[in-house]
A = this chain, B = another copy of it.
Amino acid sequence: MTEWTLSWQTVAPGIWRLKAGRPSTLSPASVMNRTPKTAALQSMGETEFPFDAADVKIERVGGRIVVALPLGSEESLYGLGLQLLKLNHRGRTRYLRVNSDPKQDTGETHAPVPFYVSSRGYGVYADTSRIVTLCCGSSVRADSGLSGNAKDRNRDSSWKATPVSDRVEITVADEGVDVYVFAGPTPLDAVRRYNLYFGGGALPPRWGLGFWHRVPKSYSADEVRAEAAAFRERGIPCDVIGLEPGWHTRSYPVTYEWNRELFPDPEQFVRDLEKDGFKINLWEHPYVSPDAAIYEALRPLSGSHTVWHGLAPDYTLPEAQAIYMEQHEREHVKIGVSGYKLDECDGSELTRNSWMFPAHASFPSGCDGEQLRQLYGLLLQKMTDDLYRSHNRRTYGLVRASAGAASSLPYVLYSDLYDHRDYVRALCNSGFSGLLWTPEVRKARSSEDWVRRMQTVCFSPLAMLNAWADGTKPWSFPEVEPIVTRYIRLRMQLLPYLYSTFANYWAEGVPPVRAMALEAGVSVRVQAGSGRFDSDEFAYGGAADKEWDDQFMFGDSLLVAPLFEGETGRTVYLPQGGWYDFDTGEHFEGGRTINVQPGLEKIPVFVKDGAVIPMMAAMDHAPRTGEKIDLELHHYGTSPGMFRLFDDDGETIAYERGEYRWRTVEVTVDTEGRKSGSVSDTEASWSSAFGDFVWVFH
């Protein structure tokens, strides 16, 4: 039996919490205040504490609380929020400060989440409003007994710049921190428990999973209408049009009020576009202009420092929330605006320009700038989501900062950085931390770059062209317009698959897009190697461990392996089992890597043997509530298969009150290889979203 030296409390099956020191009451978990999805957690079952609890130590050093946890020599450590630059953090110290310009691989990010997932199949989360530093096996204690492992760098080629450690050390400059442990047995189970404990995953409205387009920042209503019409004329699906700063009377700082010169009748504008199947999404940021009507009311509820001379309201205060929400409800939500792009809530004072309120800013609630910076994105998501929920509507939007405990929020992260490989790496790692990410397309160096980026974004949580600065359109590179159009249409065809995949995120905590390290049958071999050692750049060499950070699962059955500008081929790792090329049907046996040369017209996508992929027609926009969807049910390979099809209205939050059904789509294969498919019925009174089903066997 384990000796319990510290008081771990079982908070749900397979989830334990330790109050280290005296944790502050302000934290991501307290901001979110979600009810755990207890039934789903219970169905995952009880399990053992995943490591020896006696190995956990807590101490205070110089104003910091330090939580030390055991670490095996072969463990890889994933997660820690939206990390653009690294997948496996083993051997690195990570400094989880929110940073709007995370160019360097320090752990700083738009969305710091102090939750790591071990390849051994457990997770650890530190719930705090403060910056967390994690030594992920990068620190070695003198009392560890490892000092005998010292090596002579001059004569021993096995010397490493970061020696192997037996500890993770989590530090927070605060009085305390809540530490949670999530059991496995697999890494995916640990992630699911984390998501379910914090309320499950987000379920977007169906229209949120269509194609999005953001127009240039100073577009007028008429220009927007014309751009919308152009999509319809060209037969390019589009569900959401995003307006950028110019819709405000003033921006940087903002008013949240409609610029009547550009939008003389916002209500009519939104209604007209709705009629044509377009939702309107509004850009904003948190800094309130002196010209805003709500400025005076918010002034006493705001911080000691301004941003661009605008207020930084203290949205931990219910009074401040009420002012913001009332204004947004009246001027946006009630006239039909579908949601927001919450920009610049990720300010770091250390970016290339310093514009954010400083860490030492003080706020009326008593919190400081460090805390409010770490939580600002979460607070804004929560307020706007609550607002839509109060109208029995779902929203889906964009946000540039997030935090822990955020899986239930219908927001997708984005960045001003723009490296395509980093964007794909973020698709891989966001799923470890209850986050969604879009590799949005803004512009391209070439038609090749354009196609490669467009292909990637169509296999992501939010497929968007963001033309705020550049005015690009899907057809801006005419020579490749057919390829781009094809993928936007494919996105729409896959909507039923993707929507049910998200429903599974909501109900079971399974991330819709995820890294290979979360898949069964994957042996992520960490090939330890020495990096380049070079006296003109970096004298220590780097870690060159190979991780599959350039391919990912899109739902349970599709494996996507993007190509990048300049590449004509790539290596793809296929997990154990049979796989089929999604375009050609070609069969590949998994458990190995293959080389592909797909040509520009194609992004390599592989389907699992036995998979059922429900698809629909490439409509101009997602079906609305009450509109029946006919499905093609595609089955691949020789194994029997099953898909759980989520059936609800697709727009309201009635599903949270039980108004949904899971339809079981099943394929059996008889001894002679003949396939037959079935779809489970619902009760006669149920108003299903689905019409006809047509089977396609591959």
Contacts and interface: CB of A to CB of B under 8 A. Distances in A.
A91 B541 CA distance: 35
Contact of A358 (B139, B163, B304, B352): B139
Given A62-B367, A253-B150, A442 B306 contact: no
A291 B92 CA distance: 27
Query: Which of A218, A308, A353, A537 has most B Cβ within 10 Å?
Result: A353
Contact of A169 (B140, B152, B169, B360): B360
Contact of A152 (B252, B311, B358): B252
A103 to B, nearest CB: 6
Contact of A309 (B64, B92, B147, B351): B147
Contacts of A149: 309
A588 interface: no
Contacts of A143: 304
A163 B350 contact: no
Contact of A306 (B140, B159, B302, B361): B140
A49 to B, nearest CB: 25
A153 interface: yes
A469 B103 contact: no
B367 A138 contact: no
A217 B159 CA distance: 15
Interface string A633-663: 0000000000000000000000000000000
B159 A305 contact: no
A542 B352 CA distance: 7
Interface string A91-130: 1110100000101111100000000000000000000000
A157 interface: no
A310 B59 CA distance: 23
A349 to B, nearest CB: 4
A246 B103 CA distance: 36
B150 A535 contact: no
Interface string A275-291: 00000000000000111
Interface string A343-369: 000000111111101111110000111
A133 to B, nearest CB: 7
| Number of identical monomers bound together in the oligomeric complex | 2
B61 A139 contact: no
A195 interface: no
A142 B305 CA distance: 5
Given A62-B370, A367-B62, A368-B62, A142 B95 contact: no
Nearest to A244: B154
A4 interface: no
A245 B418 contact: no
A371 to B, nearest CB: 7
B306 A349 contact: no
Contact of A139 (B150, B163, B305, B442): B305
Nearest to A253: B150
Contacts of A402: none
Given A354-B135, A470-B535, A535-B469, A150 B360 contact: no
Contacts of A351: 540
Given A62-B371, A150-B310, A245-B154, A162 B305 contact: no
Interface of A: 59, 61-64, 66, 91-93, 95, 101, 103-107, 133, 135, 138-144, 146-154, 159, 161-163, 169, 171, 173, 217-218, 245-246, 250-253, 289-291, 299, 302-306, 308-311, 349-355, 357-362, 367-371, 416-418, 442-443, 468-470, 533, 535-543
Given A61-B360, A140-B309, A416-B535, 20 more contacts: A61-B362, A95-B350, A133-B358, A135-B349, A139-B349, A141-B304, A142-B303, A142-B306, A142-B311, A148-B290, A150-B291, A151-B308, A153-B245, A162-B353, A162-B354, A163-B355, A442-B535, A443-B535, A469-B533, A469-B539
